[in-house]
Amino acid sequence: MNPEDVANSRNADHGEEKPSMENDPYISGKAEREIPPSVPSAYNRNTSAAIAPGKSRWKMYLLLAGFLIVLIGASLAAIMGNFDGNLYASGDKIAVIYVEGEIVSGSIYNGLGYATPDGINENIRKAVQDQSVKAILLRVDSPGGSSTAGEEIYEEVKRAHDEGMPIVVSMGNVAASAAYHISVPADVIVANPSTMTGSIGVIWTFENMSAYYDQEGIEFHVAKSGEFKDMGGSWRGLSDEEKEYADSIIMEVYDTFVTNVAEGRNMSVSEVKDIADGRIYTGKKAKELGLVDELGNFYDAIDIATELAGIEGEPTVVYMNKPSLSSLLFGSESGTSNASVEELLKRYEERPYGYLS
């Protein structure tokens, strides 16, 4: 077959009318603007696709309601079950008490980034009074904070130790300054090799905003009964005599800190002072200096506490104040969430005597 015959055969009429692109209404643009009924669309109100979003929305609402029911039930179970320290569990126990965040005075609940003597000391006393608790493990992860708040916790830890309760400290990322202070009465201090600890010392800061007040045209009239009564006011700097007096206060608090470290670590005061210049030490270096006893993690500390307590087999570990969702939502026996927020706000009020830490 020659090429001309092939071309003729391709163009031959086989009894079917071939569609013309020019006559196709959808290609030529002459089609009526309507959507074929076979295509589901939001415009077609009779199709199942139009009601699908409603069904999905109801499913979402049901799932959300179910989640809320489970959440409320779990929270109520946590509260009723004394989730913040189930001392009613059977067996010999090790009570774990967390000291996390900045150490401050007040009743801010654990889990808000602060640790307070009110909450920590209460849990220490509960553990000491329970005959089934054979040892206390303090899990310390704090950069320090208020010297006074630290001394309060130190005294409670020391009291528990003096009453015969074995105490182990497990240091986390950081356990410095006041956080180290509260650790020294323990029988054994366990730190990670890279834990930041030490920072033995005291600092007292004062704000002098007099230049700002002058710039803004703000004037103060101060009526005082004594020369030092407005010491630390932000409207002026310290006089030379006040600076000297502040230094004497600092050294008095520092001497107490050093003496407590020396007693707790079986070191002389001079040995402590040689390394108590505010420096931070790694856990590894702190062990070399005698500031910690062992290098290890939390579970190593549990094993040491178990051995000190003379517990045979696996102990029952109870977490006295581990932050939980229920505690943050509903507060605790020692306070409510609203009270914690109020205490937190006080941290940002003006301090007429500076901040001692």
Catalytic residue among 55, 229, 243, 346: 229
- C-alpha span between 191 and 233 (Å, rounded): 40
Is-contact 119 199, C-beta < 8 A? no
- CB neighbour list of residue 345: distance below 8 Å, 6 or more residues apart: none
- Contacts of 113-119 with C-beta under 8 Å, sequence gap 24+, read 114/145, 114/344, 115/142, 115/145, 115/153, 116/149, 116/343, 117/149, 117/152, 117/153, 117/156, 118/334, 118/335, 119/321, 119/332, 119/334, 119/335
Of 275, 297, 134, 141, nearest to 200 (Cα)? Answer: 275
Of 323, 315, 302, nearest to 138 (Cα)? Answer: 302
3-class DSSP assignment, residue 196: strand
DSSP state of 145: B
177 is catalytic: yes
Is-contact 141 170, C-beta < 8 A? no
Is-contact 96 319, C-beta < 8 A? yes
- C-alpha span between 122 and 101 (Å, rounded): 18
Count the helices and strands in the chain (H runs, E runs): 13, 12
Catalytic residue among 75, 105, 107, 177: 177
Is-contact 177 199, C-beta < 8 A? yes
229 is catalytic: yes
Q: Which residues are catalytic?
A: 177, 229
